[in-house]
Structure 1
Amino acid sequence: MRKPIIIYLLVALLFQACSQPPQKQRSKDQPGEKTTFQTSNPWKPVTDVRADVAIVYSVKDHHRKGDLTFEQRVQTWRDKGYTTHFMTGIAWGEYQDYFTGKWDGKMHLDEGQVTQKGDTIWHGRMVPYIVPSMNFIRYMKESVIKRVIDAGIDAIYLEEPEFWARSGYSTAFKKEWKEYYGFDWRPQHESPENTYLSNKLKYHLYYRALNECFTFAKAYGKSKGMNVRCYVPTHSLVNYSQWMIVSPEASLASLPCVDGYIAQVWTGTSREPNFFNGQRKERVFETAFLEYGSMESMTAPTGRKMFFLTDPIEDWPRDWADYKKNYQATFAAQLLYPMIADYEVMPWPDRIYEGYYRTSANSDKKEQIPRFYSTQMQVMINTLNNMPLSQNKVSGSQGIGILMSNSLMFQRFPTHNGYEDPQLSNFYGQALPLLKRGVPVKTVHIENVSFAQTWKDVKILVMSYSNMKPMDKAAHDHIAEWVKKGGVLVYCGRDEDAFQSVQEWWNTGGNTFKAPSEHLFLKLGLKEPFKAGEYKYGNGKVCILRNDPKEFVLQENADTEFVNTIKRLYEAGSGSGALTFKNHFTLTRGPYEIISVVNENADQTPYTIRGKLIDLFDPEIPVLDEKQVNPGEQAFLYNIGSVKNPGTPQVLAAAARVYDEKVTRNGYSFVAKSPLNTNNVMRVLLPQKATRVEVTDATGKVLQSNTSWDDASKTLFLGFENNPEGVVIEVSW
């Protein structure tokens, strides 16, 4: 049965609105909000991580949190000098008073997300993943957001707007379907079209929920003389697509009520296996690099603020060595984006510092975080307080983009007509053959092609409609215009998946295209039957490969033609130079050197860097003359030779945050603060060897410490037990 055209107009209008340029009047970021962490607990000396902002989680008054109300929990962090923000889930949370009828006298457990089998998808006890009805949105405004703003908090994070692709069978969802589409609900498993419509609705419901909640927050804040800022902590589009979750993602950046995001990328998301060279396995660094890249490119053209998150552990219980290895991989990946310099340094410090995890992979013995790892972690997170933005680019041939769309999330579940895309291989098939050869590919969001900034430095755009579809035909005008000006478009796809024929703009309203790519090819001056080959358009070029990208990675040595084609097109471009293949990525950001050497590469040689280098992944922070990084490993180094003012005493690296620095003619003093029950190590640059080093607590009591002098680097090594109340260091020479 043909759908009324009005439905498609409504859907088109929604996504057209999502792609509009952002409002010019945006709130300015507050100073001193570069680093953050999130916690549901009050301040404790063992979790005093000394980032700029403590994001207090949940408004629920917890009897197990020391009998403190939400407001009292907030105050404990303010009393220790923290700026306080607020976070809670928008798709789940401690909303038992809503579900059990305490709030409005009605039970709402029927508003959970439900699978085809009739099972509710739960996030916790009496906490389902939510179908965000207008009634639930009203509850969020009145019971959560209003209370937070009344507590004086002017930054709100509503995290993880998540609708599981396998859900969509509840009464609540059927009601929303009828209201949105104007006709009765249809089971998503029965046809690709039903799946597409179901996922579009899921997408819309969280777009609506965040728009409603944040618009209310800003208006209510304004009524109290406050400038409330609103952020969305969210997994990457890569991860949500792979995990079969639907979320608004890029479209939120066009809302005037959204000020930015937290990129929730960590070991747990990045270790999801993918295929390359016929092998399915974890590729944590490469996946993290693509995840952070998709978050950066999602917001760069819109000017929204982006915090990058890493986690020293993960949700899944494993051993400390596993956590350390993968933390280093994700940490290095985030630092390779030099135009992002705001960070959530960790979520849930309580579980990191106080949780018990296995001592080794083959042991059931558990212990709290080892001192060597907490020291290393604290060295790493304290660099983020000083991490500069940089105009430098990650090493390698620049200018190759992979096109993405929010509709990547729409085709993942269920499978139709036998067409499968294992582990999101149609995406990774475009990216990994290049990334694994040392080419720093970037992602480009089709939702952002109307922004000139999106196309900056893109020379070749690789795309496929095998795993996503263009929701707005206007995107093809912008792509065609870019090609006409000299861009090179590489289209990979057989256009045979079941979603090519869903009733959409390319086959309704007078259009009769069998696939959306046909509309694009006509815009590019091509004529049917659109066979594989190369075609000129204006000053640019179009190359059609009639392979689905998954074919490049699901079999061994199947990516050669794809890679050679990209190389030939890249080198034929004016001024592009050679497409360089290598086995490493490097970036210099101020004094910091970030290095990652990839494995599964023909080149198995280590990468070597020389200089006066502090190894920031080593809890002893040694000074090295040379660092070798092996394939499959990363390095994070402080280059002492890059210090701009080497004659000035300064802390170069520390497992604590430094305050109250004072420099005299022959002396230097400061205060170091970090969590209780951890070891501090630091490298202090001095004009000459110290004759006196005194370490005392806040009361003046002398503390035990160990020191050593490295004459070649003119650095003092200093180690002692950390104290969140502050350790006073006085050095003279």
Structure 2
Amino acid sequence: MKKLILNILALILWTSSFAQEKTAFQIAAPWSEVYDVRSDIAIVYGVNDAGGHFEERVKGWRDKGYQVHFMTGVAWGQYQDYFLGHYDGKNHLDEGQVNRNGDTIWHGKNVPYIVPSAGFIAYLKTHLKRAIDAGVTAIHLEEPEFWARAGYSEAFKKEWKKHYGFDWMPQHESPNATWLSSKLKYQLYYNALKECFAFVKEYSKKQGKEVACYVPTHSLLNYSAWSIVSPEASLASIKDVDGYIAQVWTGTSREPVYFNGVNRERVFENAFLEYGSMISMIQPTGKKIFLLTDPIEDRSRTWDDYKRNYQATFTAKLLYPSVADYEVMPWPDRIYRGRFPVENSNERQPISPDYATQMQVMVNALNTMPISTNKVSGSQGIGVLVSNSMMFQRFPTHEGYEDPQLSNLYGMAMPLLKRGVPVEIVHMENLTHENALKDIRVLIMSYSNMKPLSETYHKALADWVKQGGILVYYGRDNDPYQRVNDWWNTKGKKYKAPSEDLFHKLGLSHENHFSGQFIKIGKGMVCVKRQDPKELVMLAGGDQEYIALVKEAYEKYAGNAELILKNHFTVQRGAYIIAAVMDEYDEQSLKIKGPVIDLFNPMLPVLDTKEVAPGEQAFLLNLNMIRSDAPQVLASASRIYEETTTKNSYSFIAKSPSNTINALRIKLPRKPTSVSALKGAEVLNLITNAWDARSQTLLLRLPNYSEGVKITLAW
């Protein structure tokens, strides 16, 4: 009994030690004042990364006031001791993923992408145990990735025989072999994560701790586009998974997509759909999700490119007001110490003072970004259905059927998004959750780019339609994956395509029902259009009929108001206004009435009106929404601590990475008569000290220091 009480007390102390885990960054390097970002959580990366010294790195970040998590790769990592035989005396390079030519797919020197064997999982558990012993409060196993082009190694063939009970089939020889190969890749990483997280929960509990388990992963859209197979939505069903990090950033969102016959980068639009996909994956389960974005990216581009696309992805994630937990950046050491080219030059330079200030204003705003019940402007309740099986059809090509740039998905989503409709992504794997379609009135789907992995999804869709849902189905159903051996054509079922089972459950049995006309089914409606969605975006003007059909579904049958077509999105979250204006549909600018503080401008100007041009975004603080007259920091390129207010003064401590410039916009009752900035006993010179009488705000600019600057204002 005494031991039980001590364990309970230890658990209480453990869980109460981290009241807020809202913002985070991942970092392999030891703490440094140069990239002391001041988020809530430092996710320390890799036992063997950054030269080892894992426990010292964990302690170093914790000693600076951070909650500490642990992250490591589940498909790759600094595991040379395992691969080269130092761990158990056996060389394990033969467990790497291998393509058709017999070449190993490498992540780095002596680090292949792994086929997750029992031996590798046992090895990985030693890292998880070490992290828990070091006192981390959460484990992140990132990027469970199996390349679609892989599947030819002896290790994979063994797993095939074990899983299916018959000999391996080369995936390039038939759609059925590709389908089976992809399903196995999917299952192997599902099993690996399930086993690893079960170990984390069991071991940490024995230590009197409660350690959370997260999966940082790219979106289904990105993995499908890049021909990678991963468990994605199914992971939320694992009881020991506490949530995800949505790994969306410039590098994923700049993948070119088709619209109006043109294939090019559309970073904001792609990011909006990627974040929507990730949120849809987790939201019905009630588990936690962190939304990530990156001020730079993995590939070397110019600082101007990074800044422009950071603003686009940052805006996209803020347009989901139901989520307010963020990974503010990966690898801050790369951002603050890296050197990259500037526009029209090959000269590599460090981050500019202005971009560092702007980035820190944005990052620090996330620390207090509120959840909001406000909806993004536009017609609500239109969804596009996706499935994990989108990843199964991307490679190789069979019978000449192709889906360039995932256009069978973007054909359904991009025409709506470009016209200002906040289209939602709905994961088929979540249809069995009662809230999965709660707010969806019109659902658009196709089996040209995916197939249902369970018959239960069709029952859920049919029930939803009969209760009043409006279903629009696009597809010719003539791709080679329609005929793979699966539940719709085995064990007594003889459907030529999975849609036939859905149509049967809906009571549609004749081809004359598939004329693009709406058919009443119970309280709902169904329309079947024999056209692949890719045709809507790969041809100029190909989406006109599609928009008309969705408009009919929404306005005539869904019981909603007019389908609003426009070129922008806005949402208000507390005092923050987030806005994005699309190009390619309507070239009109959006004007937002002030007074507002422009948070994308490192000088934090107060504007009477903010004009947002097509292809641009805005992040603003609405001064009319500041209800309190109390002195307060409205925006800052630093995190604010220890605020103290008296009748005639206001003071606080500002902390941010050293060697950067702080900009603060501060609300005060009147113009201050004195302003002081102290680093310890040292008096700092102010770069800017400007009072704006109309907004009753003070702009200060001064050097940042990670140990903190005490600012005192008196009037």
**TM-score, with structure 1 as normaliser:** 0.94
Does 2:322 correspond to 1:339? yes
Query: Between Structure 1 and Structure 2, how many residues are aligned?
Result: 699
Report the secondary structure of 1:308's partner residue. Answer: strand
- Residue 693 (structure 1) aligned with residue 708 (structure 2): no
2:295 is the counterpart of 1:312: yes
Match in the other structure for 2:431: 449
Could you report, residue by residue, the CA deviation over 1:566-619 in whole angstroms, capped at 9, with x for unpaired residues?
A: 001110035301001001000000000000000001x21100011210000001
The amino acid of 1:565's aligned partner reads L
**Match for 2:354 among 358, 372, 376?**
372
Residue 47, structure 1, aligned to residue 35, structure 2: yes
Change in Cα spacing, 1:702 to 1:421, as seen in structure 2 (3 Å) is: closer
Residues 598 and 621 in structure 2, CA contact (< 8 A), matched pair in contact too: yes
Instruction: Give the deviation of 1:700 after TM superposition.
Output: 4.4
Separation (CA, whole Å) in 2 of partners of 1:583 and 1:331: 19
Alignment partner, residue 4 of structure 1: none
- Give, in angstroms, the shift of residue 534 of structure 1: 2.2
Which of these residues, 572, 576, 591, is aligned with residue 556 of structure 2? 572
Residues 331-358 of structure 1: per-residue CA shift (max 9 Å, x gap): 0000000011000000000110001100
Correspondence for 2:96: 112
Partner of 1:183: 166
**Moved >3 Å (runs of 4+):** 27-30, 700-705
Asked if 1 retains the 8 angstrom alpha-carbon contact of 2:143 and 2:217, the reply is yes
**Aligned partners of 2:519 and 2:578: how far apart in 1?**
40
Alpha-carbon offset, residue 528 of structure 1: 2.7
Show the counterpart of 1:193: 176
Unaligned 5+ residue runs, structure 1?
Answer: 1-26
Name 1:135's counterpart in structure 2: 119
CA deviations over 1:191-225 (Å, ceiling 9, x no partner)? 00000000000000000110011100110000100
2:603 corresponds to 1:620: yes
> How big is the alpha-carbon RMSD for the aligned residues of Structure 1 and Structure 2?
1.1
SS in 2 for 1:684: strand
Task: Say whether the 8 Å CA contact 2:448–2:476 is kept in structure 1.
Answer: yes
Task: Tell me the distance in 2 between the aligned counterparts of 1:338 and 1:453.
Answer: 18
Offset at residue 179 of structure 1 (A)? 0.2
**CA displacement 1:541-561 (0-9 Å, x = unmatched):** 000010000000111001111
The one of 91, 99, 108 equivalent to 1:124 is: 108
- Residue 156 (structure 2) pairs with residue 173 (structure 1): yes
1:154 pairs with 2:137: yes
Whether 1:476 and 2:458 are equivalent positions in the alignment is yes
**8 Å CA contact 1:672, 1:726 repeated in 2:** yes
CA distance in 2, matches of 1:609, 1:434: 23
Which residue, out of 80, 85, 94, partners 1:96? 80
| Residue deviations 1:157-212 (CA, integer Å, cap 9, x gap) | 00000000000000000000000000000000000000000000000000011001
SS of the equivalent of 1:175 reads helix
Query: Is the contact between residue 384 and residue 426 of structure 2 (CA under 8 Å) also seen in structure 1?
Result: yes
Q: Distance in 2 between matches of 1:102 and 1:61?
A: 16
Asked if structure 2 preserves the Cα contact closer than 8 Å seen for 1:231 and 1:261, the reply is yes
What amino acid is aligned across from residue 242 of structure 2 in structure 1?
Answer: D
Verify the 8 A CA contact 2:29 2:50 in the aligned structure 1: no
Residue 630, structure 1, aligned to residue 613, structure 2? yes
State the Cα deviation string for residues 604-652 of structure 1 (Å, max 9, x = none).
110001121000000111000000000000000001110121x100000
8 Å contact from structure 2 (residues 597, 621) kept in 1: yes
Q: Is the 8 A contact 1:71 1:151 kept in 2?
A: yes
Aligned-residue offset at 1:61: 6.3
Q: Where in structure 2 are the equivalents of 1:320-469 lying within 5 Å?
A: 320-360=303-343, 362-469=344-451
For 1:20, the equivalent position in structure 2 comes to none
Give deviations 1:46-76, integer Å, cap 9, x for gaps: 010000000000001644xxxx610001111
CA distance in 2, matches of 1:283, 1:550: 17
**Distance in 2 separating the partners of 1:500 and 1:29:** 53
Matches within 5 A, 1:69-80: 69-80=53-64
Distance of 2:73 and 2:375 partners within structure 1: 35
Q: 1:490 aligns with which of 468, 472, 477?
A: 472
Q: Is 1:538 aligned with 2:538?
A: no
CA-CA distance at 1:722 after TM superposition? 0.3
* 8 Å CA contact 1:154, 1:221 repeated in 2: no
SS at match of 2:678: strand
State whether residues 28 and 50 of structure 2, in contact with CA within 8 Å, keep that contact through their aligned partners in structure 1: no
Gap change, CA 1:425 and 1:89, over 3 Å in 2: same
Aligned to 1:661, the other structure's residue is in SS state strand
SS in 1 for 2:617: strand
Q: Which position in structure 1 is the counterpart of 2:11?
A: none
SS state at 1:227 partner = coil
The amino acid of 2:171's aligned partner reads Q
1:243 matched to 2:226: yes
Does structure 1 residue 302 correspond to structure 2 residue 290?
Answer: no
- Distance in 1, matches of 2:689 and 2:345, equals 36
Q: For the residues of structure 2 that align with 1:38 and 1:62, how far apart are their CA atoms?
A: 13
Alpha-carbon separation, structure 1, partners of 2:680 and 2:649? 19
Q: Which amino acid aligns with 2:267?
A: V
- Once residues 392 and 151 of structure 1 are traced to their aligned partners in structure 2, the CA distance between those partners, rounded to angstroms, is 41
CA distance in 1, matches of 2:150, 2:18: 39
Aligned to 2:482: 500
Amino acid at match of 2:607: L
Matched AA of 2:162: E
1:106-146 CA distances to partner (integer Å, 9 max, x unpaired)? 1000000000011100000100000000110001112x011
Aligned to 1:730: 712
Structure 2 regions of 5+ residues with no counterpart?
1-14
2:518 partner letter: E
Partners of 1:697 and 1:703 within 8 A in 2: no
Change in Cα spacing, 1:702 to 1:558, as seen in structure 2 (3 Å) is: closer
The amino acid of 1:108's aligned partner reads H
SS at match of 1:637: strand
In the alignment, what sits opposite 2:534? 550
Indicate the residue corresponding to 2:185 in structure 1: 202
The aligned residue for residue 565 of structure 2 is: 581
The 2-side partners of 1:563 and 1:701 are apart by: 63
Separation of aligned partners in 1, 2:681 and 2:114: 52
| 1:674-717 superposed Cα distances (whole Å, 9 cap, x missing partner) | 00110000000011111111111123434444200001100000
Instruction: Say if 2:442 and 2:558, in contact at 8 Å, map to a contact too.
Output: no
Tell me which of 224, 240, 263 is aligned to 2:246: 263
- The answer to whether the 8 Å contact 2:686/2:700 transfers is no
What is the SS of the residue equivalent to 2:91? coil
What is the aligned partner in structure 1 of residue 10 from structure 2?
A: none
Q: Partners of 2:38 and 2:539 in 1: how far apart?
A: 48
Question: TM-score of the superposition, structure 2-length normalised?
Answer: 0.97
Deviations 1:235-270 (A, max 9, x none): 000100000000000000011110000000000000
Equivalent position of 1:706 in the other structure: 688
Q: Partners in 2 of 1:313 and 1:728 — Cα distance?
A: 31
Residue matched to 2:270 = 287
Partner of 2:3: none
What is the aligned partner in structure 2 of residue 21 from structure 1? none
Partners of 1:83 and 1:133 lie apart in 2 by 32
SS at match of 1:218: helix
